[in-house]
Structure 1
Amino acid sequence: MTRFGDKAAEIEKMTGVRQRHWVDDDMTTADLCQRAAERLLDQLGWERDSVDAIFLVTQTPDFRLPATACALQGRLGLGQHALAFDVNLGCSGYPYGLWLAMTTIASGTARRVLLLAGDTISRTVDPEDRSTVMLFGDAGTATAVEADAEGAANFILGTDGTGERRLIIAGGAYRRSKDSAEGIGTNADALYMDGGAIFNFTLATVPKLVSATVERAGGAEVFDAFLFHQANAFMLRHLAKKSKLPSDRVPINIDRFGNTSSATIPLLMTTDIAERLTSTKTRLGMFGFGVGFSWGSVDIMVNPLACAETIYFAGLHE
C-alpha cells in the first residue's frame, strides 16, 4: 500500500495489520467454505448423508438469491433431508452461528450440523479508501457440531440497530430512496465504515459483555483462552487490559490475516491454539462484535477437537 505513503504506516500501527489474504476475482466465500468443509468432513470421517443442517454465516453470498447455503448443500453432496440457510451477520456471526447450531441440535431437529462462516470483504472495499482496504482480509471456515450429552455452552447475545449505517453497503439491495446513501461515502456499492463510531460502540459494549460472561462463569481464571473478533490490534489489547484478562490467553492474529469478519474466531482456533484444542479439554470465551450493531459471547467447554490444516490461496497482500 505504498500509494498511501506515510498514512499506510500510521494505519498499520493502529490496526496491527501487516498482511492479509485476498481471493482472486473468480473465487467467492462459498468456494472458500466449501474447501474448508470438504477437508473437515474427510478428516472427521463423517458421511455426507449424516449432516442434518448446514448454516452459512456470511455477508458476501454468491447471489442475492437463492441462499448460498442451499447451493453448498448440493456442492458438498449432503442429503436432501438437510436444512440449509444463510445468516446475514458479520463480526458477531460466529457466536450466533454456534448458538443456532446448538439450538438446532437441542431441539432434536439435527444431530450433526455444519457451520460455515466467512467473507470475501475484498470484493466490497473501495480501493481508494485506506480505512477499509488496508484492514480487511478474506477467509472461509467450517465447524462441525454434533450432539454431546456432556456438552454445554452459555450465550449472551445483543443488538443495537441504531448503528445500522455505521458499517454498511447501501447499494445493491432494495432501499433506493434518494437519501439512502447520504452520509456514507461516495460509492454506495462499496463498504463504508465509520471507524470512530465503531470504536466508541466497541468500548461502550464489549467490556460489559466480557464482564457479564466472566462473572457468570465464576471468574476469568476458569478460561483457557479468550477469543475476540479480530477487529483492530490496538482495540483488542485495550479491551483485554480493561477487562483484566491475562494477555497470554488472548491470542491475536490480525497482523497475519487482517479483519476477516465472521471467520476471525474460528481462524484463531485453527492457527493460534490448535495444538491445545487437539490435545485436551479447553474452556473458551468467544466474543464477536460489530456490524449491526450486533454482539455475542460464548462460554463453552470443548473436548479435544479435530483441527484441519489451514489452506492458503494466492493473494497475499502486504
Structure 2
Amino acid sequence: MKAIVEGVRVAGLRTVVPAQRHSFVEDPGIFTTEEVQKLAATIGVRERRVLPRPYCASDLCVAAAEGLMQQLDWDPASVEVLVFVSQDADYVLPATACIMQHRLGLPTSAAAFDVPLGCSGYIYGLWIASRLLGGSTAKRALVLCGDNATRHLHPEDRATLPLFGDAGSATALEVDTNAPPIPVVIGTDGAGAPHIFVKAGGKRHCLIPPVGTAGQTLEKEAAAQLERDSRLTLNGAEVFSFTLRAVPPLLREAMEHANTDVEGIDRFVLHQANAFMLEHLRKRMKIPTEKFIIDMQGFGNTSSASVPLAICHSMGSQLTAGPVKTLMAGFGVGWSWGAMVVELGAMQEPQVVDLPGNWPVLTV
C-alpha cells in the first residue's frame, strides 16, 4: 500500500535508554572470548542497555516525551494525539497509551491508543499519527516507540541474548501547511509470524491456568514449557531470507514513490537489525557508506525504537541545520514492513539520554 502525508512536519525527536549497560565483550557469560569477538564483529553489538525491573518500555517513552516537550517548549495541553508503539504493554488492559496520557498531562480531548508492532512500528506510528492530524482538529502529536526486549530473552539463548537492547523514543509531529509531502509504503505478510515469536502471554496460549482450575498447580513439565514459550524465539535464517526478499523492493518502491533515487537521498536509516544484514543491504542497493546509518554497537537491536535511536545518536547535530532528506525503513516481526521519505530539520538537536536514576515507579 502507498500513501502520501501532507501538511505535517517532524518537529523534534528524543530517545531515552536505560543507564544499566551490559557488554558480552567484557562479561562473556555463556560465550567464550573467541565467540564474543566474532559475534561483536558480525552483529555489530558490543554493548546493550538493559532496563531493570520494575521499569517498563512506557517509562522510557514517557521520559523521552517529557524531555522533548520541554525542549520544544510545548504545553502538554496542546498535544491531542498520542500513539504508543510497543510490543511491551504495561498491562493486558487498559491500553498503556491511556496511562501515558495521564502521566504526561495531555488533555482529555486527546486520542491515545497502542499499536503493538515491533520492527516496522516507527513507520506505522508516524503514518497513523500524521493522518490523524490531517483529518482532525488536532495540531500536535506524540509518537512514542519503545520496547523492553531484554525481558523476553532466555538466559541461555545464544541466538538472541547478545543482540537485543532496550530503548524508548518520542517523536513530535506538528501541522504545518508548508511541510513537504511524505511518501509512505506499507506491507504485511503474516506467513512470517512464527519466525520472530513469543508464543505465551496472549489468550491463544495463556500463562495462567484456565477458569475452573484455580488453586491447582501446574505440573513441573507444563510450567517449564510455559516458561520457554514466554521467551523470544528467532529463526535467524528465515529472518535473513525475508530481509533480502522484502527490503530491497521496499526501498526501491519508496524512492520511486518519492520520485527520487539513491543519489537524491541524504541519509538511509533502516531498522537496526544487525550490522551484517544492514551492510549486505547497503551493498546490494549500492548505497554509499556515508549515506547509510549503522549505529547499534552501543545499544543493540532496540526493535521499534531502533530507527529514532539511530537518528538521534548519529544525525543529531546535522538536523539543527537541515533539512536532511531521509529514507526511514522498518522491517521484521510480523512479517511487517514500511518505509517513508521525509525531510528532517531544521530542528533543535535530538538527544539520547539515560533514564534518570530517580525516575518514579508507576503505580495504578
Could you say which TM-score interval applies, normalised by the shorter chain?
over 0.9
Aligned to 1:158: 187
The 3-state SS of whatever aligns with 2:92 is coil
The CA distance in 2 between the partners of 1:195 and 1:71, in whole Å, is 35
The CA distance in 1 between the partners of 2:304 and 2:39, in whole Å, is 22
Instruction: Identify the match of residue 163 of structure 2 among 124, 132, 135.
Output: 135
The CA distance in 1 between the partners of 2:314 and 2:102, in whole Å, is 32
Q: CA deviation at 1:280?
A: 1.8
The CA distance in 1 between the partners of 2:176 and 2:41, in whole Å, is 43
Question: Is 1:275 aligned to residue 275 of structure 2?
Answer: no
Question: Is 1:225 aligned to residue 254 of structure 2?
Answer: no
Q: Deviations over 1:64-113 (max 9, x none)?
A: 11111110000011110001000010000111111011111111242100
Aligned to 2:254: 213
Q: Give the percent of matched residue pairs that are identical in Structure 1 and Structure 2.
A: 41
Greater Cα offset, 300-309 or 19-28: 300-309
Output aligned runs, 1:40-79, within 5 Å. 40-79=68-107
The 3-state SS of whatever aligns with 1:150 is coil
Q: CA deviation at 1:10?
A: 2.9
Aligned to 1:234: 276
The CA distance in 1 between the partners of 2:241 and 2:260, in whole Å, is 28
The 3-state SS of whatever aligns with 2:298 is helix
Question: Is 1:38 aligned to residue 75 of structure 2?
Answer: no
Q: CA deviation at 1:274?
A: 0.8
Question: Is 1:250 aligned to residue 292 of structure 2?
Answer: yes
Q: Deviations over 1:248-288 (max 9, x none)?
A: 01111111110000111111111101111111211110010
Q: Deviations over 1:113-169 (max 9, x none)?
A: 010001010111111102111000000000000101122200000000001111011
Aligned to 1:113: 141
Greater Cα offset, 216-225 or 115-124: 216-225
The CA distance in 2 between the partners of 1:208 and 1:310, in whole Å, is 31
Indicate if the aligned counterparts of 1:213 and 1:297 stay in contact, CA closer than 8 A.
Answer: yes
Partner amino acid, structure 1, of 2:284: K
List gaps (5 residues or longer) in structure 2.
1-23, 207-221, 358-364
Indicate if the aligned counterparts of 1:58 and 1:118 stay in contact, CA closer than 8 A.
Answer: yes
The CA distance in 2 between the partners of 1:109 and 1:49, in whole Å, is 14
Partner amino acid, structure 2, of 1:21: R
Instruction: Identify the match of residue 4 of structure 1 among 26, 31, 35.
Output: 31
Q: CA deviation at 1:214?
A: 2.1
The 3-state SS of whatever aligns with 1:187 is helix
Q: CA separation of 1:186/1:195 partners in 2, compared to 1, >3 Å: closer, same or farther?
A: farther
Q: CA deviation at 1:314?
A: 8.9
Q: Deviations over 1:286-310 (max 9, x none)?
A: 0100000000000112331223421
The CA distance in 2 between the partners of 1:75 and 1:308, in whole Å, is 22
Indicate if the aligned counterparts of 2:184 and 2:338 stay in contact, CA closer than 8 A.
Answer: yes
List gaps (5 residues or longer) in structure 1.
none
Aligned structure 1 segments of 4 or more residues deviating by more than 3 angstroms: none
The CA distance in 2 between the partners of 1:115 and 1:306, in whole Å, is 17
Aligned to 2:57: 29
Indicate if the aligned counterparts of 1:23 and 1:313 stay in contact, CA closer than 8 A.
Answer: no
Indicate if the aligned counterparts of 1:23 and 1:314 stay in contact, CA closer than 8 A.
Answer: no
Indicate if the aligned counterparts of 1:227 and 1:285 stay in contact, CA closer than 8 A.
Answer: yes
Question: Is 1:124 aligned to residue 149 of structure 2?
Answer: no
The CA distance in 1 between the partners of 2:336 and 2:40, in whole Å, is 26
Indicate if the aligned counterparts of 1:185 and 1:192 stay in contact, CA closer than 8 A.
Answer: no
Partner amino acid, structure 2, of 1:4: F
The CA distance in 1 between the partners of 2:143 and 2:245, in whole Å, is 30
Indicate if the aligned counterparts of 2:316 and 2:351 stay in contact, CA closer than 8 A.
Answer: no
Instruction: Identify the match of residue 173 of structure 1 among 202, 225, 234.
Output: 202
Aligned to 1:147: 175
Aligned to 2:230: 189
Partner amino acid, structure 2, of 1:200: S
Aligned to 1:200: 241
Greater Cα offset, 7-16 or 108-117: 7-16
The 3-state SS of whatever aligns with 2:167 is strand
The CA distance in 1 between the partners of 2:77 and 2:71, in whole Å, is 16
